[in-house]
Amino acid sequence: EAQVTQNPRYLITVTGKKLTVTCSQNMNHEYMSWYRQDPGLGLRQIYYSMNVEVTDKGDVPEGYKVSRKEKRNFPLILESPSPNQTSLYFCASSTRDSTTKNIQYFGAGTRLSVL
């Protein structure tokens, strides 16, 4: 089954404690993205990757890091989480072939609370 898998689904942490949210896709997609979703603000892109070792900032990259060492994995790293990073996070993957045209396939989400 084609899917994007995020872990963990729920996470409560404290300010300053480094954490990683993992994301893996099994569709051999070149493109992967991280979004955060906040009430009234919608989905905002944090980082995206066009392929292995190629990443770029999205609209709200401050406080986040990513890496793309393998095509299937795109972890999101919060080196020193702060309460304003409390949010619902989604990983997504896509391809830009003539049929799918960058249609995003989303994971189930990770709800993060930073105390």
Partner 1 sequence: SQKIEQNSEALNIQEGKTATLTCNYTNYSPAYLQWYRQDPGRGPVFLLLIRENEKEKRKERLKVTFDTTLKQSLFHITASQPADSATYLCALDTGRRALTFGSGTRLQVQP
Q: Which one, 58 or 63, has the nearer CB to partner 1? A: 58
Q: Which one, 14 or 103, has the nearer CB to partner 1? A: 103
Q: Which one, 10 or 62, has the nearer CB to partner 1? A: 10
Please report how close the Cβ of residue 107 comes to partner 1 at its closest, in angstroms: 6
Rule CB under 8 A: say whether 21 interacts with partner 1: no
Task: Please enumerate in sequence order all residues whose Cβ is within 8 A of that of 73, keeping only pairs 6 or more positions apart, or say none.
Answer: 22, 23, 24
* Token pair recorded at residue 64: 């986040």
With CB under 8 A, what is the number of residues at the site for partner 1? 25
Please report how close the Cβ of residue 4 comes to partner 1 at its closest, in angstroms: 8
Omega prior to 8 cis, within 30 of 0: yes
Nearest Cα to Cα of residue 38 among 86, 104, 109: 86
User: 50-109: which residues touch partner 1 (CB under 8 A)?
Assistant: 56, 58, 90, 92, 94, 101-109
Task: Please enumerate in sequence order all residues whose Cβ is within 8 A of that of 65, keeping only pairs 6 or more positions apart, or say none.
Answer: 76, 77, 78, 79
d(CA 78, CA 21): 8
Rule CB under 8 A: say whether 11 interacts with partner 1: no
Residue 106, beta-bridge partner list: 92
Contact positions toward partner 1, by CB under 8 A?
4, 31, 33, 35, 40-45, 48, 56, 58, 90, 92, 94, 101-109
